[in-house]
């Protein structure tokens, strides 16, 4: 007689949540006895208690509801967790579903595996207190609050079947970047894109004070988010009802998403699509003791981090901790080997459907190289040599980017994000190919709006950065052009992202994603109508302070070097780059072949501008950046004319990090190449686009760095003409020529006379421009002599 097959175990969200909450609490507190097989003793407690319990139960509630969505609807779900300091909850869920074990057998779903996970959490060389690239299924750390929602939208773009769930903590919701990101639905095409399902988690408190959103009534919250364009659903689980209202709300939201997408994909697109979102009310640290030693814990800010911080020394807190952990009844959740029981695992999706196994969270595996168009049709021709043609570097690049938009149209895997500056920065050639993404109706006159556009313009650098991070981390490509001065708005986001990339390199199962390149235009030296506030090259310094393996800084001096640089960087992976380029028509110096050689070298001697005739130079005029290149060549021209027997070498640097010693930066020139450019002890007058400290920082470790006399922006500015701004900072051609004359000792008398002549000329020109309001023709009309 055969036994009847056992009916499948029905998933119970509450049982699963008990197991996940128990595991999360154990990670924070325990280093041994992780399933409480024995009475809890002080030696079972970690010596350092680190972590944030307060948000963990809410994260598990969301994870459980998403598991239900995956199991019942087969949804393709990616989770972005804004409160990344709730990492114990994510680790607990990943351990229960087995994705931790997939990457590391020592983290098996056994008692030994849980003990190993607990000992690695917040331990040297283990898992950090926040999410990180070492955590499966994640593409956002959440350590610095404010950026989760924009990142989630970037992950949803051009992924029509993907649901990106995004947990937004109520503390995070107070940040400016999050406030702007709620508008991202207006840029999300329901035909070509996926959907973002935000869960605003209201648990009442930040570190020690109430959150703004938690003090708002349901009516106020509903009005606010409807005003943003969302269709909010408010779910209150503060009394932990026996039903699963959050799971039901997620299923309902998913059905609404699919209805909206179906309408749009069959030609009946809503005029103002209102996407569903969830507002989840729970208690801070739900499940923790209500009160210990007269201090309220559950539902208060005392549950934010470690609710019982003195558990090592205080027997009453130790008893409270044991009572709290035993309240989850671990003996009913795990078998004798510590494996989760079937009624726990019944709530978990299987195989590749598990949230921690989401392929898009390791987007390098999905990345396909771009089909980059040839550069030749867009290059600037120099019929009679250097300086014989004028062009706008960014306009030339815009034509090439337009062609790239065409070649990437079928795959839809390349986007440009910008704070409403494409036309200003002369990159608008892309707009006839792919318009500005916008799905809501725009009343009145507007140009180049397109529901399915792959150009995204919004006056929020934070949104642009977040959109692009999410897009790249899920396997696609993009570019972020922005005004140079306001790139600093995302300094902190870039810091976090560069750290993510650096840490990713040490995770063997992560595959590199496309590099994130910022194209810094409208550079400060030409912001004459905006003035001092728009003169800020500090983004370069910020990148140079990041890990050198994941950052690069490039200053192409003309259109052809810009084209070559951009083609290289859009084919690159695993870095954050800054490219500084001009948008105004200016002299062009290198043909395409010479530009390729120059960019490959990182820095070169421009022999055609030098006068040392192969001998050791007396002085080197070096430069990095479009405007410094013009002024350096103009200074060289002055000296060629007025001191023809002076031995001067001209060096241009396009890859700024090539200046560093090779042991300090992977782009650093070998010592013999560095000597070939800059000699052994030859004085160098270096005109730099940004703050001089950046060059000095890179030169540290080179022989005799004191011989480099770096000129650059020294925080002197106003609303004035370009030449006047250069003189204010000591970087005009006359200042550079005067500085070089100090090192032509064999003609000291003549040099002193010339230096005085150049100073008088500079002062005369400054007086003239103050009378006329424009730079004199002597400056604007200068051309390199042919």
**Burial zone of 63 (CB within 10 Å; 0-12 exposed, 13-18 middle, 19+ buried):** buried
| pLDDT value for 1 | 44
Q: How far apart are CA 647 and CA 624, in angstroms?
A: 21
pLDDT of 311 > 80? The answer is yes
Q: At 531, is the pLDDT very low, low, confident or very high (cuts 50, 70, 90)? A: confident
| pLDDT value for 746 | 55
pLDDT tens for each residue of 422-435? 999 999 999 999 99
Q: What would the mean pLDDT of 770-774 be, rounded to a whole number?
A: 94
56-73 and 87-97 helices, crossing angle to 10°: 40
| pLDDT value for 747 | 65
pLDDT tens for each residue of 686-729? 999 999 999 999 999 998 999 999 999 999 988 899 999 999 99
pLDDT tens for each residue of 164-189? 999 999 999 999 999 999 999 999 99
Q: What would the mean pLDDT of 383-402 be, rounded to a whole number?
A: 97
pLDDT tens for each residue of 64-105? 999 999 999 999 999 999 999 999 999 999 999 999 999 999
Q: What would the mean pLDDT of 212-217 be, rounded to a whole number?
A: 96
pLDDT tens for each residue of 14-31? 999 999 999 999 999 999
Q: At 420, is the pLDDT very low, low, confident or very high (cuts 50, 70, 90)? A: confident
State the sign of the Cα–Cα–Cα–Cα dihedral 186, 189, 190, 194.
negative
pLDDT of 206 > 80? The answer is yes
Average pLDDT, the chain: 95
Domains along the chain with CATH numbers: 13-344 (3.40.50.970), 376-586 (3.40.50.970), 605-780 (3.40.50.920)
Q: What would the mean pLDDT of 201-220 be, rounded to a whole number?
A: 95
The answer, as to whether pTM is greater than 0.85, is yes
| pLDDT value for 6 | 60
Q: Which residues contact 153 (CB under 8 A, 6 or more apart)?
A: 164, 181, 184, 187, 188, 196, 466, 467, 470
Q: What would the mean pLDDT of 561-574 be, rounded to a whole number?
A: 98
Q: What would the mean pLDDT of 577-589 be, rounded to a whole number?
A: 96
The strand order across the sheet containing 436-437 reads 449-450, 436-437, 455-457, 414-418, 477-483, 516-521, 576-580, 551-554
**Burial zone of 354 (CB within 10 Å; 0-12 exposed, 13-18 middle, 19+ buried):** buried
pLDDT tens for each residue of 32-59? 999 999 999 999 999 999 999 999 999 9
pLDDT of 240 > 60? The answer is yes
Q: How far apart are CA 42 and CA 772, in angstroms?
A: 81
Contact 80, 156 (CB under 8 A): no
Count CB neighbours of 112 within 10 A: 13
Q: How far apart are CA 221 and CA 227, in angstroms?
A: 10
Residue 688: its H or E element: strand 684-688
pLDDT of 299 > 70? The answer is yes
Helices (H), 602-691: 626-642, 671-678
pLDDT of 2 > 60? The answer is no
| pLDDT value for 745 | 64
**Burial zone of 60 (CB within 10 Å; 0-12 exposed, 13-18 middle, 19+ buried):** buried
pLDDT tens for each residue of 244-291? 999 999 999 999 999 999 999 999 988 899 999 999 999 999 999 999
| pLDDT value for 44 | 98
pLDDT tens for each residue of 498-524? 999 999 999 999 999 999 999 999 888
State the sign of the Cα–Cα–Cα–Cα dihedral 642, 647, 652, 658.
negative
């Amino acid at each position: 007689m055969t036994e009847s097959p056992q009916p499948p175990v029905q998933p119970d969200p509450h049982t699963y949540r008990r197991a996940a909450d128990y595991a999360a609490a154990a990670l924070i507190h325990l280093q041994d006895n992780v399933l409480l097989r024995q009475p809890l003793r002080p030696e079972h407690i970690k010596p350092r208690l680190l972590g944030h319990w307060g948000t963990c139960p809410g994260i598990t509630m969301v994870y459980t509801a998403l598991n239900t969505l995956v199991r019942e609807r087969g949804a393709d779900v990616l989770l972005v967790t804004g409160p990344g300091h709730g990492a114990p909850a994510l680790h607990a869920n990943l351990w229960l579903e087995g994705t931790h074990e997939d990457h590391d057998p020592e983290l098996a779903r056994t008692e030994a595996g849980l003990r190993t996970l607990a000992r690695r959490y917040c331990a040297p060389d283990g898992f950090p207190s926040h999410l990180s690239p070492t955590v499966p299924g994640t593409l956002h750390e959440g350590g610095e609050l404010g950026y989760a929602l924009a990142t989630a939208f970037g992950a949803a773009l051009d992924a029509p079947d993907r649901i990106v769930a995004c947990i937004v903590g109520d503390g995070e919701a107070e940040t400016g970047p999050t406030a702007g990101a709620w508008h991202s639905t207006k840029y999300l095409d329901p035909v070509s894109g996926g959907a973002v399902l935000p869960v605003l988690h209201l648990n009442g408190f930040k570190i020690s004070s109430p959150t703004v959103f938690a003090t708002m009534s349901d009516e106020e919250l509903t009005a606010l988010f409807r005003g943003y364009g969302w269709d909010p659903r408010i779910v209150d689980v503060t009394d932990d009802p026996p039903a699963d209202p959050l799971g039901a709300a997620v299923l309902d939201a998913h059905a609404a998403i699919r209805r909206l997408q179906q309408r749009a994909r069959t030609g009946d697109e809503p005029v103002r699509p209102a996407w569903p979102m969830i507002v989840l009310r729970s208690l801070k640290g739900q499940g923790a003791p209500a009160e210990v030693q007269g201090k309220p814990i559950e539902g208060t800010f005392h549950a934010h981090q470690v609710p019982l911080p003195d558990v090592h020394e205080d027997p009453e807190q130790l008893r409270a901790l044991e009572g709290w952990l035993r309240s989850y009844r671990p003996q009913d959740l795990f078998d004798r080997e510590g494996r989760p029981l079937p009624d726990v695992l019944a709530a978990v999706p299987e195989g590749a459907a598990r949230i921690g196994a989401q392929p898009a969270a390791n987007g390098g595996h999905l990345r396909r190289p771009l089909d980059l168009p040839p550069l030749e049709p867009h290059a600037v021709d120099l019929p009679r040599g250097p300086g014989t043609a004028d062009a706008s570097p960014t306009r030339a690049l815009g034509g090439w980017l337009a062609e790239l938009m065409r070649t990437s149209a079928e795959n839809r895997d390349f986007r440009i994000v910008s704070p409403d500056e494409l036309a200003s920065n002369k990159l608008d050639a892309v707009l006839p190919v792919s318009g500005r993404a916008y799905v809501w109706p725009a009343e009145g006159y507007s140009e180049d709006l397109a529901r399915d556009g792959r150009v995204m313009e919004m006056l929020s650098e934070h949104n642009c950065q977040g959109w692009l991070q999410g897009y790249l981390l899920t396997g696609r490509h993009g570019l972020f052009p922005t005004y140079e001065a306001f790139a600093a708005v995302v300094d902190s986001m870039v810091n976090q992202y560069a750290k993510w990339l650096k840490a990713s390199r040490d995770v063997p199962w992560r595959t590199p994603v496309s590099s994130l390149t910022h194209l810094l235009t409208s550079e400060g030296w030409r912001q004459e109508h905006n003035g001092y506030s728009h003169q800020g090259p500090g983004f370069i310094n910020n990148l140079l302070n990041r890990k050198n393996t994941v950052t690069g800084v490039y200053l192409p001096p003309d259109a052809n070097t810009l084209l070559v640089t951009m083609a290289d960087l859009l084919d690159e992976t695993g870095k954050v780059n800054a490219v500084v380029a001009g948008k105004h028509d200016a002299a062009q110096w290198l043909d395409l072949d010479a530009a390729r050689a120059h960019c490959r070298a990182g820095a070169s001697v421009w022999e055609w501008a030098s006068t040392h005739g192969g001998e050791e130079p007396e002085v080197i005029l070096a430069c990095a950046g479009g405007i410094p290149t013009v002024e350096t060549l103009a200074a060289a021209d002055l000296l060629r004319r007025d001191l023809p027997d002076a031995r001067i070498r001209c060096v241009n640097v396009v890859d700024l990090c090539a200046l560093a010693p090779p042991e300090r930066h992977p782009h650093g020139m070998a010592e013999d190449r560095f000597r070939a450019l800059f000699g052994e002890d030859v004085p160098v007058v270096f005109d730099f686009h940004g703050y001089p400290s950046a060059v000095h920082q890179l030169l540290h470790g080179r022989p005799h760095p004191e011989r480099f006399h770096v000129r650059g922006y020294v925080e002197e500015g106003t609303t004035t003409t370009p030449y006047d701004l250069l003189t204010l900072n000591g970087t005009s051609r006359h200042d550079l020529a005067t500085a070089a004359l100090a090192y032509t000792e064999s003609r000291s008398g003549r040099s002193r006379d010339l230096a005085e002549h150049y100073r008088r000329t500079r002062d005369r020109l400054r007086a003239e421009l103050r009378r006329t309001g424009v730079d004199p023709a002597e400056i604007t009309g200068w051309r390199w002599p042919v």
